[in-house]
Chains A and B, each alone.
Chain A
Amino acid sequence: MSYELIGISVLWLFLYGYLIVASIDFGAGFFAFYARWTKQDHLINRLISRYLSPVWEITNVFFVFFYIGIVGFFPDTAYYYGNALIVPGSIAVILLAIRGSFYAFENYGSKKNIVFLFLYGATGLLIPASLSVALTLSEGGFIVKQGETISLDYWALFTNPLSWSIVGLAIVSVLFISSSFLAFYASRAEDHAALKLIRGYALFWSTPTIIIALTAFIYLGQHNERHFQNMMDLWWLLALSVAFFMIAMWLLYNGRRYGLAFICVMLQFFSAFFAYGIGQYPYILDPYITVQSSATSPAMGIALVVVFIGGLCMLIPSLLLVFKLFLFDADYVKGKK
């Protein structure tokens, strides 16, 4: 396997990792605010903050890791996306900044500040929307190159049903992934009141998730025939995704095995996300950047792969330690530590 292929696979895996951890985080922020708003916060907010407090910073690193990685492996992405994404990118950064810092302010500093919590909750839904723009752009047709000038065709972007369906999908997936995880966490904590509330959220958000996913898929077919066909060739991955969704729904509906249900949700998104990614190959940005054309020099590519493997040897044990201490330690989850 060539280093650029390893690079893009690893990065895609990391983006998937970010998708899961960030969705949990973003959704939890929204639910925390929503619960406070509807005066149900006594039920779930302690649970949410118990999970989030030790991990919020790690979530952020997944994102940094992905974009530093992609610019490192494929410097051309910096050129095209950098020039085109100045406005949506800056907005996403500002939202991320508000969210990250106000989480710390609210959680470690000024407890019970509703304004801080609102900023935290609202940005949780706006960030996935703004980040998903980058994914839309990769489909081509929105970035215009005239000579050496790269610009973003805002009109095309805002009038295209594909971009709106991707935004919609991002938002509802966040809520669905997050609520199914929190249901698992609540069941581990044996917090029945919280579980009842969150299970309701998970069931509620499952339907729009699958509907909007289908809608986005259809619009993708109208916008980028090649990508659509490639994905149709990977129909078995998509079928797998739907199957995992059904299993997750069945478990959630029957109110049992929440851990397994969440794993199914993860696998559902994993298969769909990889069907999408493999279908896009070899393009990173249709039609300007392909995996091969934009790869960094071989020496740097190999250095990055080596560093990556070395880094994983440190990261994985550390992450396992976090999981052990805060996720699978029943006493901590229940709030006894």
Chain B
Amino acid sequence: MHSYDPVLYSRLLTGLTLGVHIVYATIGVGVPLMIALAEWIGIKRNDTYYLLMARRWARGYTITVAVGVVTGTAIGLQLSLLWPNFMRVAGQAIALPLFLETFAFFIEAIFLGIYLYTWDRFKNRMLHFLLLLPIVLGASMSAFFITSMNAFMNTPQGFDMVNGKMINIDPLVAMFNPAMPTKVAHVLTTAYVTAAFILAGIAAFALLRGRNHVYHKKALRLTMMAALIFSLASTAIGDLSGKFLHEYQPAKLAAAEWHFETSDKAELIVGGVLTENNEIKYAFKIPYALSILAGSSPYTVVKGLNEVPRDEWPPLRASHYLFDGMVFFGVYITVVALWHVLAHWRRRRKGSTKKPLNRALLIAILLGAPAAMLAIELGWIFSEIARQPWILWGYMKVSQGATTALYVDRMLWMFAGLYVLLSVTCIYVLIKMFKNNPIEAEFIARGMKEGDVKR
């Protein structure tokens, strides 16, 4: 067993809280956009299916928002509880995005409350739709601000460090740091993809279970189209992120790709094993790819790990496998989204839309939901672990930022218990909510004709 080490337990607890929070936060950022799309189409085409889709998604969304809010509150407080020394120093520079984030959150919270309780209060449906805009905007702005704060920890700027204190702080320069554009764009697009895939997964599951209702097909079409657009966007941004890392955090890129010697024509390493002497075995190597990823040209010189002091190396194995995993799942969901869009297009041309969808495709979509979420998790863990040992890149190491308090280990167990309780109950409530009120029943309850129901 480890002896009591507050730094280790602070890291574990922060990682655990964030790991849980980003699941709900991703849903929180992405799903409002999908609800807005559904409601918009529903109003424009006067299609009850889409309106009902928006309504059902919003109902489930409320449950996940609750867990997102409370885990977000937890991480907000833990930032000060577990990293008081870091907050004392860096609080001077990151206060602005943190503060702005609470405003975005405020607006989102206010309008979500109004939106949920005014479905039938406005005569003009467009007015109710407009309530969604501050929700979508608030959710995405929260992600923007909080990610810009995280980006600051990766590329700190906008201050002078004198005797361990920050002076001459320029809050805007700190906020609009070099890591911010790619990070924010990647976080937003992947959140939209993941939300789309989760909703698509639900529809695919219903279709697989033989509930061959046109409602689910419409849901699939909408979500898969959105997923394709956003996954292509996030792939493009991923490429830009590689170029960013090459320029600003070469150690992070080198750790992800096990790139030791500085060189041009660098290979991209996929999979493989790293021996004790840092030799790479059994890996699939793509020549020139790393140089192209870093600088769009095979002649780009990529800095290797050997130029970084040993005690500043990120953990090599974790970084590499996490990175590979993220890319793998990212590619998988892009392919699945493309598959569905092409299949739909072909079916439409042949005029055979009445037949059930290809079973293999439905299974692939269903698997896409956890795959997308896994890609998010792996991507975040990679991004955080591969900036070890720094908490403030180049300025402050993780061990200097943590609390020295007692009992952090017990807090870790308490929070772990809490998250298990919340997640299990959340899933239980969601399943119960939709099982007791399937779409077919909702149609009948709303007095609509069952004519569209195909069994």
Contact surface of A with B, Cβ cutoff 8 Å: 53-58, 60-61, 63-65, 67-69, 71-73, 75-87, 89-94, 96-98, 100-105, 108-110, 148-151, 296-297, 299-300, 303-304, 307-308, 311, 314-315, 318-319, 321-322, 325-326, 337
- Residues of B near A315 (CB, < 8 A) are 103, 106-107, 110
Within the assembled complex, what's the spacing in Å between the Cα atoms of A102 and B418?
12
Check B92 for interface membership: any CB of A closer than 8 A: yes
Among B72-80, B257-265, B312-320, which stretch is in contact with chain A? B72-80
Binary per-residue interface labels of chain B (418-430) against chain A in the complex, 1 for a CB within 8 Å, 0 otherwise: 1001100110011
How many positions in chain B have a CB within 8 Å of any CB in the partner chain?
Answer: 76
Q: How far is the CB of A331 from chain B (nearest CB, A)?
A: 10
Q: Which B residues from 5 to 64 make CB contacts under 8 A with A? A: 59, 62-63
Determine the distance from Cα of A26 to Cα of B98 in the docked complex, in whole angstroms.
Answer: 26
A68 to B104 CA separation, bound complex (whole angstroms): 13
B396 surroundings in chain A (CB, below 8 A): none
> At the interface, yes or no: B85 with Cβ under 8 Å from chain A?
yes
A-B CB proximity, top 7 nearest: A72-B95, A82-B84, A104-B66, A75-B91, A109-B429, A78-B87, A54-B113
- Which residues of A sit under 8 angstroms from B433, Cβ to Cβ? 108-110
A60 to B80, CA, bound (A): 18
Q: Is B92 within 8 A of A60, CB to CB?
A: no
Min C-beta distance of A229 to chain B, whole Å: 31
Task: Give every chain A residue within 8 A of B114 (Cβ-Cβ).
Answer: 54, 321-322, 325
B106 near A65 with CB under 8 A, answer yes
**Is B442's beta carbon under 8 Å from chain A?**
no
Contact B66 A105 (CB under 8 A): yes
Q: Contacts A296-B92, A303-B96: A101 and B414 contacting too (C-beta < 8 A)? A: no
A61 and B99 contact, CB distance less than 8 A: no
User: Which residues of chain B come closer than 8 Å to A69, judged between CB atoms?
Assistant: 99, 102
B283 in contact (CB, < 8 A): no
B109: shortest Cβ distance to chain A, in Å?
4
Q: Given A96-B70, A303-B172, A307-B103, does the pair A86, B405 have CB atoms closer than 8 Å?
A: yes
In the assembly, what is the distance between CA of A90 and CA of B100, in Å? 24
Judging by beta carbons under 8 Å apart, are A105 and B426 in contact? yes
Task: Find A83's partner among B70, B76, B84, B118 (CB 8 Å cutoff).
Answer: B84
CB proximity of A66 to chain B, nearest CB, Å: 9
Q: How far is the CB of B57 from chain A (nearest CB, A)?
A: 13
- B81 contacts A94, CB within 8 Å? no
Query: How many whole Å from B239's CB to the nearest CB in chain A?
Result: 33
A83 to B404, CA, bound (A): 7
